[in-house]
Structure 1
């Protein structure tokens, strides 16, 4: 079946697990034309998913790799994913969980490469709340519609906590989580970068080690990558030009290398583009919160499969994707 003919029912089912459908999702099926020339979509600032975009543009890494990177950046994640389902974008840079969610529901996608590891954590200003167990019976603000909330639930359960029994979870968008923390209306909040680093620079502290807890719960290696963002696209787009796919990987690898090797210059570019303070970016690096590691997804299959299994365990996936979700990276490009 062509990826250009997915019905409303198909992507309503795909979003049913973790996202409430907005009118934009329902309208997108009526606008099948690709939204831009390259077909690329991604998360808009201040999302850390946008951090490598100004580097690509400044260094003209797209042109150096024979591409024209006119990415469309979305401030609303639900529209980013609905446009992919409706083929208004051919490939996106977003949460890997959503690729798996669409795939197991019949949308023909392939996971191409990883971009960054998870940078989510619970924070608090209460000195008595330091470890995960200290959250018992506390009030926590979190964006429960976010796919990665599933991993947060796994982390909580690993520490004997259940959001339905011994926690008071208040669902709120990310900006509201920060507001409630600052107003001291909640005991703790679940955040991700750059909001996470920003709050840590204002006297808040991490509660436990979420990634370590996830690794323990899923029996992963102690140093295993806990992935968050990646690149994936429609199979027909991938198959139509393997050289373009390889060039896209190389472009993002070059951008990640610049981020990792030229911290001061990269942080200045990101700060100006995403309107995030340099101090927060420096703190994120110091604490190893946001980490860009661009590699073929199939090379991380073991870690990704473990994460998919975790998402299924907490009810965020109906099934674990089979091996065909991974682009093989074995054909000549």
Structure 2
């Protein structure tokens, strides 16, 4: 009987340890752009709501500038990228870096703003200085849309800066125009509402080119070798982001405070309204394979302006098992 009791006690001591071991979250390191950026939009929500832990992960988000992000992701220093734009994924592939777009987070939207009265159209930017984060896909997509309007981006004098610097350029009127996107656009207009936004005809140009209005733009990507080795982790990562997006949509006011903790109440209110409308934000979490047709259209746009020298491989569009 004593031996039986001892065995039960030992078993009771072992079970919590085994359970804790089985439930230990898997550590992941994901590189993202620093705020304000779309890549930095959902991570603070994931961490604050513990959505990574809920899905068995322990995610560490590492912020980088766009140029550093691309270099460190492509080199494999980071196996996962949470500011993965489709065209940079496609370009990495054609240059021999085998990466894959796991899932989409945001559809494309971009803008050009100006305070100069002589600039009324995108073509008026020819011969003028334009502040932009030239290392981003948003700029490349802007290049494509500008060409659809008859402008020649080769005649723009581009002042390259990191994404956090774009708002400063616009506020100080240090350039004739500034090319930017959300959430920086909304933050800028909350501070300087008299900025004019040039008509980019995004929906019409894309519809004419592809027959669709959906433009997959930014999501989460990884190296193909990592994806093949860690297939069981990918649905968990997708779930963390998907649940974060759903929580943001359901709690825009609270979400804006998490996303922009140091901002003014007016800035946070503007971000909450951006979330509610979602027309410019374009939050749209979907598996890459579910928007494969649209992704190939983005590749075609990049190839048409010689950003992509060749067609990216089909493996750049991750197909989740069972889909």
Question: TM-score normalised to the size of structure 1?
Answer: 0.78
Equivalent residues of 2:113, 2:178 under 8 A apart:
yes
Partner of 1:132: 122
Match of 1:70 among 34, 42, 60: 60
Q: Say if 2:132 is the partner of 1:142.
A: yes
Task: Pick closer, same or farther for the CA change 1:176–1:58 going to 2, 3 Å.
Answer: closer
Equivalent residues of 1:111, 1:325 under 8 A apart:
yes
Which blocks of at least 5 consecutive residues in structure 1 are unaligned? 1-35
Match of 1:266 among 255, 262, 274: 255
Partner of 2:17: none
Give the whole-Å Cα distance in 2 for the aligned partners of 1:69 and 1:180: 33
Secondary structure of 1:252's match?
helix
Q: Say if 2:288 is the partner of 1:329.
A: no
Q: Say if 2:102 is the partner of 1:112.
A: yes
Give the whole-Å Cα distance in 2 for the aligned partners of 1:301 and 1:102: 18
Which blocks of at least 5 consecutive residues in structure 2 are unaligned? 1-25
Equivalent residues of 1:155, 1:213 under 8 A apart:
no
Task: Pick closer, same or farther for the CA change 1:281–1:169 going to 2, 3 Å.
Answer: same
Match of 1:103 among 76, 81, 93: 93
Per-residue CA deviations over 1:219-260 (Å, capped at 9, x if unaligned) read 342xx2222211111122211232211111111110111111
Equivalent residues of 1:197, 1:280 under 8 A apart:
yes
Partner of 2:46: 56
Partner of 1:219: 210
Question: TM-score normalised to the size of structure 2?
Answer: 0.81
Q: Say if 2:186 is the partner of 1:200.
A: no
Alpha-carbon distance, 1:267 to partner: 1.1
Equivalent residues of 2:256, 2:269 under 8 A apart:
no
Task: Pick closer, same or farther for the CA change 1:275–1:117 going to 2, 3 Å.
Answer: farther
Match of 1:38 among 16, 28, 32: 28
Alpha-carbon distance, 1:159 to partner: 0.9
Give the whole-Å Cα distance in 2 for the aligned partners of 1:239 and 1:245: 10
Equivalent residues of 2:104, 2:285 under 8 A apart:
yes
Match of 1:240 among 229, 243, 249: 229
Alpha-carbon distance, 1:297 to partner: 0.7
Equivalent residues of 1:54, 1:273 under 8 A apart:
no
Secondary structure of 2:130's match?
strand
Partner of 1:318: 309
Alpha-carbon distance, 1:82 to partner: 2.2
Give the whole-Å Cα distance in 2 for the aligned partners of 1:170 and 1:39: 32
Equivalent residues in 2 for 1:7-46, closer than 5 Å: 37-46=27-36
Equivalent residues of 2:42, 2:245 under 8 A apart:
yes
Give the whole-Å Cα distance in 1 for the aligned partners of 2:100 and 2:81: 11
Give the whole-Å Cα distance in 2 for the aligned partners of 1:274 and 1:319: 42
Equivalent residues of 1:122, 1:190 under 8 A apart:
yes
Q: Say if 2:50 is the partner of 1:90.
A: no
Equivalent residues of 1:52, 1:255 under 8 A apart:
yes
Alpha-carbon distance, 1:80 to partner: 2.2
Partner of 1:182: 171
Equivalent residues in 2 for 1:299-314, closer than 5 Å: 299-314=290-305
Secondary structure of 1:242's match?
coil
Give the whole-Å Cα distance in 1 for the aligned partners of 2:29 and 2:278: 35
Task: Pick closer, same or farther for the CA change 1:205–1:283 going to 2, 3 Å.
Answer: farther
Give the whole-Å Cα distance in 1 for the aligned partners of 2:263 and 2:38: 8
Equivalent residues of 2:138, 2:181 under 8 A apart:
no
Give the whole-Å Cα distance in 2 for the aligned partners of 1:62 and 1:328: 22
The answer to which structure has the higher strand fraction is 2
